[in-house]
Amino acid sequence: MPSKVIIIDYGSQVTQLIARRVREAGVYSEIHSCVTSAAQVAAMQPQALILSGGPASVGEADAPALDPGFLNLGVPVLGICYGMQLLARHLGGELAQSLTREYGPAELALTAPCALWEGVESPTRVWMSHGDRVLTPPPGFAVTGRTPTLDVAAMADEQRRIYAVQFHPEVHHSVDGERMLQNFLFKVAGIAPDWTMSSFVTRCVADMAAQVGDRHVVCGLSGGIDSTVVAVLLHRAIGKRLHCIFVDNGLLREGEGQEVADCLTEHFDLNLNVVQAQERFLSRLKGVEDPEQKRKIIGHTFIEIFDEEAGKLPQVDFLAQGTLYPDVIESVSHKGPSAVIKSHHNVGGLPETMQLKLIEPLRELFKDEVRKVAVELGLPESVVWRHPFPGPGLAIRVLGEVSPERLHILRQADKIVLEELRASGWYRKVWQGFAVLLPLRTVGVMGDGRTYEHVVALRVVDSVDAMTADWARLPPELVARISGRIINEVKGVNRVVYDVSSKPPSTIEWE
């Protein structure tokens, strides 16, 4: 097993960024809920512990608490924001609630030598997001950093290897945050950077082989990179006891069903069963407009089909899925008191009556890490760089009721978007690009006559892991060409708009 850092999640929406920064440094990390006990963490044998930020105030009666045993594990501890306040409160420091929440950039002056500061010049720009502050550090702690508004912006007890910062080094707005985290990992904890995708593949294949034993596995295969990587990993682990099922749910893009089937049979020696289930999905979605209800209907129907297909096979006990960490973060709060954003069809949409046990080897990986695994496995570029496509398919890009007619309009528009992105060279430059059919009509003029037709929105974003994203600044002439083609070539559309919102506060998908 590689070296391991445990991150205790107190509910920050950017806790996953801590995990990303640690992994980017070549160190394996896991996030666990703040209700995880010190004894449970000790059993994980970590080399270091990081306490995340969170939305609560330390003084509140129901605020997440610090397990004092965390400080007796014999490993270095780093507290970030709320984590710093917890350390101060537990160890005898003095805190106060700020009159206003401090959010945004701040100049951090380094006021005392500290292992975290090696290679960092003073002052340095950091990112703040907090409501409480430390007035006096606990006994044994030195104040190592100040800002114009905080006398204690960082503190350390280097003898006990306990460090704390009020700002967020994990976000890119903190200019030297990455170096600070690496100093904690390498200078303080003495960890070796041994987390690689090659080691992940080796360990993952061995773990799945042991978990499955001599039984069979059904894999829900969409043709996207996530489920394809899962299938190839499982194929290495158990060979022909893997049974891949590609469900054409009637919610795919133009020609996608045949394209996926052809690609999978051409490149991979897999047991592949293509199930035509368009009518079942569309009939159940008829009249449904609520996006959460759509996701749950689709998730339940997928599992129903997988259960049916598994019943035709011998000894099938497992369902493999390409669930990623962002899916889990947005769907459930099981890792801490962070807010649920939306249910993903393969996480929050799963029925309690499901008969199969889940295998989700990518559940703790981010999309860019999955792409690295895909390269390690030798997958073709067409799979590695395929834009993410949501499990519920076009159902969550047809806003409002899903019908064959509205799906047809969206397919034609989406096809044009992808054609133009590829032709212009922008397909590989952006994270994701697609069309959305809005649930409204607008007045237009075509051929000197009045029209009252549909509106299509273009959504093209830049991202690294889908946890945050910004709208892509496409060349105006490319946007104009896409818009012109959609209006002229897609019957029933007379207006195209461009989505210029980032995530957060928006999400990448509209539903």
Identity of residue 485? R
For helices 197-212 and 225-238, angle between their N-to-C axes, nearest 10 degrees = 60
N- to C-terminal Cα separation, the chain? 39
Annotation marks residue 90 as catalytic: no
Annotation marks residue 244 as catalytic: no
Residues with Cβ < 8 Å from 233, sequence gap 6 or more?
A: 201, 204, 205, 208, 361, 373, 377
CA neighbor of 169 nearest in space, from 20, 27, 315: 20
227 labeled part of a ligand binding site: yes
222 labeled part of a ligand binding site: yes
Inter-residue contact 147 to 134 (CB < 8 Å): no
52 labeled part of a ligand binding site: no
Q: Which residue has the tokens 């009721």?
A: 401
Q: Which of 168, 216, 243, 454 is flagged as catalytic?
A: 168
Q: Which residue has the tokens 């990179």?
A: 225
226 labeled part of a ligand binding site: yes
Q: Which of 158, 170, 369, 453 is flagged as catalytic?
A: 170
Q: Which of 24, 32, 34, 81 is flagged as catalytic?
A: 81
Inter-residue contact 325 to 274 (CB < 8 Å): no
Please report, for residues 13, 96, 342, 459, the alpha-carbon distance to residue 501 in angstroms, rounded to integers and kept in the order given. Answer: 18, 36, 18, 9
CA atoms of 275 and 258, how far apart (whole Å): 12
Inter-residue contact 341 to 304 (CB < 8 Å): no
Annotation marks residue 168 as catalytic: yes
31 labeled part of a ligand binding site: no
CA atoms of 238 and 392, how far apart (whole Å): 28
Annotated binding site for ATP: 222-228
Residues with a catalytic annotation lie at 81, 168, 170
Annotated binding site: 222-228
